Amino acid sequence: MKTNIRNLSEELSIIEERFPKLRAVFSKSGRLEKLIGELDICDDEGNYWDTFDIKIVIPKKFPYAIPKVFELNGKILRDNDRHISEDGLCCLDIEHELLRLASKGISLCDFIVDKVYTFFANQLFFEKMGEYANGEYPHGFEGVRYFYSKKLNLTNPVIIIRFLKLILKNQIPGRNDCCPCQSGRKFKKCHLKSFEYLKSIRRERLKEDLNGFINMSVNT
């Protein structure tokens, strides 16, 4: 699989320059285990806001697995609405987005900039404004449902179930076939991109979604 990620030494060099308070910790075998230290947060104009003590744990299957990020000094209230667990594990994004990122290979530097830094900046924005800068996903399965609606333009649970079953059976329509959503449009001009996105997600996650939408349909 081709990726656009840099080699690790280049990544760490860029991280050291951009985030000098983070240090790399290696195992005895030389594998990068974690980054630990302080992360300074500034606003868009470069004004200093605050500093967080963090730990970024690097999984063995990285770059094709998602790092875990912990806030260590308890500055963020441990609460579901703040998207952080009791032990400081940070929910950086909905799992689908992170899994898709991992399927392509994660650039560690880009991950810190796009996911980690953004998470902590958003936490400070919330403290100042009482809301997140770019909104947030609802908790639990409602967040999954919201994701399918906003990201994939899929709102009808019956259609979503049909899509997921086709993908899990690897029965993908041809580009010029009628779209399975029954809109009457060709697949390539309707939900092709949604299918391609879902195909990049791990099957275990798709099976969870399928069961969730089935249960929702039964209880509706």
pTM: 0.85
Q: What domains are there in the chain, each with its CATH number? A: 8-129 (3.10.110.10), 141-219 (no CATH)
DSSP letter (8 states) at residue 84: B
19-54 per-position pLDDT tens digit: 999 999 999 999 999 999 999 999 888 889 999 999
104-148 per-position pLDDT tens digit: 899 999 999 999 999 999 999 999 888 888 777 778 899 999 999
149-187 per-position pLDDT tens digit: 999 999 999 999 999 999 999 999 999 999 999 999 999
pLDDT at position 5: 54
> Which distant-in-sequence residues (6+ apart) come within 8 Å of 34 by Cβ?
24, 25, 55, 56, 57, 58
The distance in angstroms from the start CA to the end CA of the chain is: 42
